[in-house]
Structure 1
Amino acid sequence: MTQQLFATDALLPTGWARNVLITWDGTGRITAVAPNAQPNGAAVAPGPVVPGIPNLHSHAFQRAFAGLTEYRGESQDSFWSWRNLMYRFAARITPESLEAIATWLYVEMLEAGYTSVCEFHYVHHDQGGTPYADDATLSLALLRAAQRAGIGITLLPVLYQTSGFGAKPPRADQARFIRSTDNMLSLLERLAPAAQAQGAVLGLAPHSLRAVPPDSLATAVQGLTALNAQAPIHIHIAEQTQEVDDCVAWSGQRPVQWLLEHAPVDERWCLVHATHMTPQEYLDAARTGAVAGICPTTEANLGDGIFDMPLWLQHGGRWGVGSDSHACVNAAEELLMLEYGQRLSLRQRNVLATAAQPEVATAMTLQAVQGGAQAAGRAIGGLAVGEQADLVALDAQHVALRDLPAHSMLSAHVFGSHRTSAIDSVWVAGQQRITGGRHTQHDAAAHAFVAARSATIAPD
């Protein structure tokens, strides 16, 4: 059945437009976007309508220990000491707790302006590292969580085989992650019908160059391409300087340099973090058409460093944002942190504004939507015909937004409100999931999450 929404102001791929009538069909695809229109009986949005932002990098289970690692456990804490704590937590996850944690997380994402998520999923087996009777158990739990919350999902099962460059054997606390390449390709075949049934996209995530040897990486990419030549491929790369140093010691090349010379990197790929690159690597990576997956709040939380966004954009690079470890679950907060990181690094303001879009919040939103859609492998690239009706309506009566022009309302949402507080309504594939800022399952999902977290962190 055809549905319509009228917006006094809407952010289209070309910029802001007035009196926009958006029409979509029963599948949730936009069939018409008409500026300078009349409501004609359509529902009227409570404020400016902007495209929902795809979250291009998520480890769902990590939401349950957000805030629990903010103490100094070593003389100098780092990503690597944090990782040890994360492994201890991952060892206690059950299928039931993962589904409860992910369901709440996805509700949070929707309430915070994300309408789609790329789930980088690497906890595969039971607590002892033994495959479940149904090897897809934990993957299916994530698909169910996304379906229950009503968020779009790109599921990226993670290939993880070694503990370091040079095919170092996996550590004991990595046993839940380990799969052979053939086993991973079998898992993707097993998951394909379930993913297709709910409109999900299925891709692959070679975890990192330190966790996937070269032969396995090549075989996995070839196998995935044989299953689906358009399937997205995501990989952690150059997140930490130690990773860069270890890669050089192993291969004589930096991680991004090695990857570009040894893998068929193109528009299907998402280079997650890519924090530590040389100017030549920025140029070469951007030329592939791959998306840079920037996770500003996690990168700040872990002390990773700051991506050189002006240099990336200078070369035409594409990017999107993710909440990664979910220290923060808020689309606007990621944009704010991204811009503020650039300001602190460069001692400039409005760094990510463009000549076409001088309002930095507008420019960042449009770019994050386009890059996130590409990384997700889904038609969620904005308010345009043929794209999915993933929409966010701001609350024009919110005190931070009231009586402002629409482009300033978006700026106030990102830079001047509590961020989630200015979101009124969210639609995914034309289905309204958030009304008055709340998900219908908010309370039930929150209760289940708290119970799952308590069980997971409780002492034996």
Structure 2
Amino acid sequence: MFESDRDCPVPQTSRGGRSLWFEQALLGEAWASDVRITVADGLIATIETAVARTATDQGGGVAIPGVANVHSHAFQRAMAGLTEGRGPEGGEDDDFWSWRQLMYRFLDRGGPEEIEAITALAFAEMLEGGFTRVAEFHYLHNAPVGRPYADPAELTGRIVAAAEATGVGLTLLPVFYAHSQFGGAEPNHGQRRFITDVDQFADLVARGRTLTAALPDAVVGVAPHSLRAVSPEELAAMPGLAGDGPIHIHVAEQTKEVDDCLAWSGARPVEWLLANAPVDPRWCLIHATHVTPAEWGEVAARGAVVGLCPVTEANLGDGVFPASAYVQQGGRFGIGTDSNVRIGLAGELRMLEYSQRLSLRKRAVMADGARTTGRALFDRALSGGAQATGAQNGLGGGLAVGQAADIVGLDTRGIAFEGRSGDAILDSWIFAADRNAIRSVWRRGEQVVVEGRHVARDAIESRYRKALKTVLGQDA
């Protein structure tokens, strides 16, 4: 049974840690019952199974590992629900490109305070939704007028501050954005807040490393925005700037992008990228929706990760990535929330599976071998997310000794979990349970979600409401 996390004392071990107990826990490949996990210095120190709960243990219910969110534009959280009318032209062909014009107009307002407040809410909701790390694809660099702030890394610092305030693990991905179209076209007015040159960008990456130095297990990589926004020469500079960090890029999200890339280069976007960039396991190709079998086969062979954002891809009408065929060839994927129109791991995984079912007119598409659909989806999102966010080597490998104590506690008292155990718990969570199925979340052993709410939710919401008034022009 559960005990109130607020009432349960936090035991102190000799190393300044705590102990958590769960009725069931997913430990690597296998489920175990009556599990005690002790935490020290943010890491899992010991795991015991088949042990009774003591009065000083926190926890209860079912423990699963926290998963990394491989793709977020946190500032877009404030746009959720505000772009569901037709685009600015009012025509019938509303698509990603008309949505993008609305997003550009949204950027006319919103300074550092507002960006930090919006980001903090998005990060808190990620923790409430089962994500314990986020790859923030951070391309909002300049002031609304388009000029750098006095401190060019002002908004980078605000992203870091939001991560620190919420406790989410941060993989910071400063975005390089210089052009409006293939072939090095000049940026347009709506892109003014994104633009840097290579030298300015190198400084932003260096400042990002300095600003994240005090965060536990922070990772810094780079993100050339897309082949539209980065010239071949600029793209060639990105791996060196990334160092050991991950490299993310939007690619082949829309059919127009494919057509424009063919007109520019004679090759499709993923085809061109594979031929002209050192794509390897450090790379994460965001969306890659419109790919041929030869393209996704080569991505899989090189060990790169595809970053899928099923809810956003559905919201924008992008299309459906051929995930079933891709994983059958050993392809790896991670899950992202992108525009943050709705934040939650279970919802993203459900949308991924359902999109495959609708496309192929089959059921249990992503299941494989002995693994049920929910288990197979979860395992792949866990491993692909850890790789894509640079959170391997002890930061995102699941519930095992030496790994970060990033733990999600499911409340299995709900009717959706009645009579379930093992993999059926994951299936029921993803496909049948309510959003409140996540009761508790620990990040590096610190409880950041209690009874379904982030511990600082009230203060975060208050700041967000104030910020939204400014961003929406309601502060007069």
TM over 0.5: yes
65-74 or 331-340: which moved more? 65-74
TM (normalized to structure 2)?
A: 0.92
Structure 2 counterpart of 1:165: 182
Corresponding residue number in structure 1 for 2:7: none
Q: Any residues of structure 2 matched to 1:55-454 within 5 Å, and which?
A: 55-73=69-87, 74-75=90-91, 76-199=93-216, 200-225=218-243, 230-357=244-371, 359-378=372-391, 379-418=395-434, 420-454=435-469
Distance 1:79 1:243 in 2: 11
Structure 2 residue aligned with 1:4 = 19
State the Cα distance separating 1:42 from its structure 2 match: 5.8
**Equivalent pair of 1:272/1:292 in contact (CA under 8 Å):** yes
State the SS of the aligned residue for 1:324. Answer: coil
Please report how far the alpha carbon of residue 258 of structure 1 lies from its aligned counterpart in structure 2 after TM superposition: 0.8
Q: How far 1:309 sits from its partner (Å)?
A: 0.8
Query: Is 1:13–1:366's contact at 8 Å kept on the other side of the alignment?
Result: no
Between 1:268-277 and 1:346-355, the stretch displaced more is 346-355
Deviations 1:293-327 (A, max 9, x none): 00000000000000111111122111111110011
Deviation at 1:400, TM superposition (A): 2.0
Deviation readout 1:403-443 (Å, 9 max, x if unpaired): 4324323222211122x211111001111111111112112
Cα contact 2:71–2:307 (8 A) shared by 1 = yes
Deviations 1:63-82 (A, max 9, x none): 00111010113311010000
1:41 Cα shift? 6.1
SS class of match (1:365): helix
Structure 2: runs of 5+ lacking an equivalent:
1-15
Moved more, 188-197 or 202-211: 188-197
Tell me, in whole angstroms, the C-alpha distance in 2 between the residues paired with 1:67 and 1:79.
15
Amino acid in the other structure paired with 1:218: A
TM-score between both structures, scaled by the size of structure 1: 0.95
Superposition deviation, residue 190 in structure 1:
1.7
What is the letter of the counterpart of residue 100 of structure 2? R
Are 1:63 and 1:325, in contact at CA under 8 Å, matched by a contact in 2? yes
Structure 2 CA distance for aligned equivalents of residues 97 and 298 of structure 1: 23
Does the CA contact (< 8 Å) of 2:37 and 2:44 recur in 1?
Answer: yes
Q: Secondary structure at the match of 2:286?
A: strand
Answer yes or no: is 1:458 the counterpart of 2:476: no
Contact 1:46 1:396 in 2 (8 A): no
Residue type of the partner of 1:326?
N
Percent identity for Structure 1 against Structure 2: 48
Shift of residue 108, structure 1, vs aligned partner: 1.1
Q: What do you get for the CA RMSD once the two structures are aligned?
A: 1.5
The one-letter amino acid paired with 1:428 is R
2:30: which partner in 1?
Answer: 15
SS at match of 2:298: helix
Which stretch shifts more, 98-107 or 447-456?
Answer: 447-456
Q: Distance in 2 between matches of 1:438 and 1:224?
A: 35
Does structure 2 retain, via aligned residues, the 8 Å contact 1:54–1:369? yes
Q: Give the Cα separation in 1 of the matches to 2:331 and 2:48.
A: 30
Query: 1:111, 1:322 → 2: CA distance?
Result: 15
- Cα distance in 1 for residues equivalent to 2:58 and 2:209: 38
Shift of 1:44: 4.9
Decide whether the 8 Å contact of 1:292 with 1:320 is kept in 2: yes
Letter in structure 2 aligned against 1:217: L
CA distance in 2, matches of 1:107, 1:219: 34
Taking a change above 3 Å as real, the CA distance of residues 66 and 380 of structure 1, as seen in their structure-2 partners, is same
Deviations 1:346-402 (A, max 9, x none): 111111111131x21122111101111111111212112232111001112123224
Query: Is the contact made by 1:425 and 1:436 (CA closer than 8 Å) also made in structure 2?
Result: yes
Which one-letter code corresponds to 1:431 in the other structure?
A: E
CA distance in 2 between partners of 1:33 and 1:160 (Å): 46
Instruction: Please say if residues 198 and 234 of structure 2, whose CA atoms lie closer than 8 Å, have aligned partners that are also in contact.
Output: yes
In 1, Cα distance between equivalents of 2:145 and 2:308: 33
Which residue type is aligned with residue 183 of structure 2?
G
Conserved in 2, the CA contact under 8 Å of 1:335 and 1:414?
yes
Kept in 1, the 8 Å contact 2:136–2:170? The answer is yes
Q: Secondary structure at the match of 1:177?
A: coil
Matched to 1:439, the amino acid is: H
Partner of 2:67: 53
Q: Which amino acid aligns with 2:151?
A: D
Deviation, 1:39, is 4.2
Tell me, in whole angstroms, the C-alpha distance in 1 between the residues paired with 2:455 and 2:23. Answer: 26
> CA–CA distance in 2 between the matches of 1:178 and 1:413?
41
